[in-house]
Amino acid sequence: MSDLAERRQEEKDRRRIEIVEAAIEVYREVGWDAVTIDQVAKRARLSRALVYVYFKDKDELHAAIVLRSFEVLDKRFAEAASRARLGIDKVEALGRAYLAFAHELPHFFDACARFEVAPQQTTAPTGLIAECFAAGQQVHAHTVAALAAGVADGSIRTDMGDPKVSSMALWGFSHGLIQIAVNKAHVLAHDSISVPQFVDHAIGLLRRMLAR
């Protein structure tokens, strides 16, 4: 690649990142349903037409945000797992990291949740969608590794079953736990249950389920 071609590619990459960053800011402020390409273009200080040069529609822009979300979650998971020694402690650390991710970056959590139920997942993924799938699998790989490590070090029961299936089950539990903690705090409060109490109790149940 010539110097000129390299500079042009760098400019394209920079512009693409600027658009995604602008979309993330608008997403955080108004929620995805209210996001428009016009708002993103205005925030990025670009023309609407130029945004469409980089992203063919709002769905493709959403996929770019999902990819960024998975990259952030992957980094958080890697850091959380590295701080624990036993496999079962790694699993708990990952669960708490997921809860923190949802609490601190709700727009990223929402982006991932929307991606999980998107219609395009029923077809063979390509382009950005394929990248999102690969990034999501990398995130799950941390839990799979933690479960396998727990079986190996004796902290997790040997009859747990396939770590990949167990990882998906734990993701389902965690996702539901977050939805209740975020959206049903008033229901918990009605029964004199605080969100931290609910979360700690749920994690304790999962630990006892996994513990050898």
For residue 198, give every residue at least 6 positions away whose Cβ sits within 8 Å of its Cβ, in sequence order, or none: 180, 181, 188
pLDDT of residue 9: 83
Distance CA 170, CA 6 (A): 44
DSSP state of 211: B
pLDDT of residue 2: 74
| Type of residue found at 97 | A
Q: What is the 3-state secondary structure (H, E, C) of 111-133?
A: HHHHHHCCHHHHCCCCHHHHHHH
The pTM for the full model equals 0.90
Distance CA 187, CA 130 (A): 38
Going residue by residue through the chain (212 aa), what tens digit of pLDDT does each one get? 677 777 778 888 899 999 999 999 999 999 999 999 999 999 999 999 999 999 999 999 999 999 999 999 999 999 999 999 999 999 999 999 999 999 999 999 999 999 987 765 556 667 899 999 999 999 999 999 999 999 999 999 999 999 999 999 999 999 999 999 988 999 999 999 999 999 999 999 999 999 99
Distance CA 146, CA 66 (A): 24
Query: In 10 A of CB 128, how many CB atoms?
Result: 18
pLDDT of residue 62: 96
pLDDT of residue 186: 92
Place of tokens 């980094």: 75
pLDDT of residue 123: 63
Place of tokens 């929620």: 31
Q: Which segments of the chain does DSSP mark as H helices, in order?
A: 3-30, 37-44, 48-54, 58-82, 87-104, 106-116, 127-153, 163-183, 185-190, 195-210
pLDDT of residue 45: 94
Distance CA 147, CA 205 (A): 16
Going along the chain from its start, the domains and CATH numbers come out as 1-55 (1.10.10.60), 58-210 (1.10.357.10)
pLDDT of residue 1: 65
Report long-range pairs for 160-168 (Cβ below 8 Å, ≥24 apart): 160/210, 164/140, 167/140, 167/143, 168/140
Tokens coding 157: 């029961």
pLDDT of residue 166: 95
